Structure 1
Amino acid sequence: MPDLAGHILILTGPPGSGKTTTAQALAPEPGAPAVHLHADDFWHFIKNGAIAPYLPEAHHQNAVVIDVLVGAARAYARGGYFVILDGIVGPWFLSPFKTLAMPVHYVVLRPPLAAAIERCRLRGGDTLSDPGPITALHQQFSDLGPLEHHAIATEGQAPAATLAAVRKAAARGSFWLKP
């Protein structure tokens, strides 16, 4: 993998798409020093008054969390790190990332809906497992309009194949966001 110091890779998709698995495998690879920002953690930092981020009334909260993520990613990238941000960062959240004066890659992992629901169900714990919100988020990532070329279909792929596709996309720079 080339040296991506100062780059930000947004690795996104619906719940159960393999974002965190891929980010955890990509971050320790040789190359630039890397940081893995797990967006879910930033929502969990809200201890009082948190609203489930997929609910419409969470819009203000989500905008604040995205601003914090942008600031953290910017600071690490300016410090010479390759930043891998994994989380549900839909096109509706990209405006603040597009203002950054550094390369920002946007990669959307797109699994089949049934696979995403099953992965979420198997995780257990306090993660999202309700098929309703998973289906709604999956639908929001199903047609990216002008960003459609940023999607990687992961149907039938093992995690290693998804990692290879993300690695290739980042190396080529073909998934950069244009300001």
Structure 2
Amino acid sequence: MSTLLVIAGPPGAGKSTVSSIASSRLSPSVLIRGDAFFRFLDRSAQKPWLPEAKDQNQTVIRASGAAAGQFAQGGYEAVFDGVMGPWFLPTFFEATGLNELHYAVLLPSVERCVQNVTIREGNRDDEPGTRYMHRQFEQARIDARHLVIEPSGTPEEVASGILSRYRQGAFAYGARDVT
């Protein structure tokens, strides 16, 4: 069985770029874009940051976790890219069916995240949501071993650092971590 590396963080943290690079350096690998699972929702979908979206979000998290787990169990080095806050991690982990996964959280400054989202989106419509999600990650109780605070260097260098820690087991998350 191969493993699952979750690269998480708020919008604009650089997850997608770093995840893509990391996945390209593993073999056989699969890159799972967590946001895609929210796009599967059709009619009556709620904005995921709204309180009334809790049940919807739990369903999406379980579905994405199950898919990620199947790829890892199928022999792939799976890299999951998503806004996977620690508040969702126990649900996601359980759905994977794995004994362990690896959880890395990119946490640049809020201003850097806002700038990245603005450049990517071409407008500031997502600034309030980006600030809100960044605050959620900052205030969450995340074990320091999972954090990559103010990632520096090129995306390639950040991916290299994450892969190095991943191979050392520094990001390991298992049943002992579920509270």
Q: Structure 1 pair 176/155, CA: closer, same or farther in 2 (3 Å)? A: closer
Q: Structure 1 pair 103/32, CA: closer, same or farther in 2 (3 Å)? A: farther
Matched, 1:7 2:3: yes
Partner in structure 1 of residue 46 of structure 2 = 51
Alpha-carbon shift at residue 88 of structure 1 (Å): 0.7
Alpha-carbon shift at residue 103 of structure 1 (Å): 2.7
Partner in structure 2 of residue 104 of structure 1 = 101
Matched, 1:114 2:111: yes
Q: 2:35 aligns with which of 32, 40, 59?
A: 40
Q: Structure 1 pair 151/88, CA: closer, same or farther in 2 (3 Å)? A: same
Distance 1:154 1:47 in 2: 36
1:108-160 deviation digits (Å, cap 9, x = unpaired)? 001111010010001127x9842212111111111443523210023543212
1:67-105 deviation digits (Å, cap 9, x = unpaired)? 101110111111101111100111111113443333300
Contact 1:7–1:102 (CA<8 Å) still a contact in 2?
Answer: no
Distance 1:152 1:129 in 2: 27
Q: Which runs of 5+ in 1 are unaligned?
A: none
Computed over aligned residues only, the root mean square deviation of the Cα atoms, in angstroms, reads 1.9
In the TM superposition, what are the counterparts of 1:20-169 in structure 2 within 5 Å?
A: 20-29=16-25, 31-99=26-94, 100-124=97-121, 129-145=125-141, 147-169=143-165
Distance 1:129 1:149 in 2: 33
Identity %: 30
Alpha-carbon shift at residue 26 of structure 1 (Å): 1.3
The one-letter amino acid of 2:141's match is G
The one-letter amino acid of 1:87's match is G
TM-score when normalising by structure 2: 0.89
Contact 2:7–2:80 (CA<8 Å) still a contact in 1?
Answer: yes
Paired residue secondary structure (2:24): coil
Paired residue secondary structure (1:24): helix
Q: Which runs of 5+ in 2 are unaligned?
A: none
Partner in structure 2 of residue 173 of structure 1 = 169
The number of equivalent residue pairs is 173
Contact 2:61–2:92 (CA<8 Å) still a contact in 1?
Answer: no
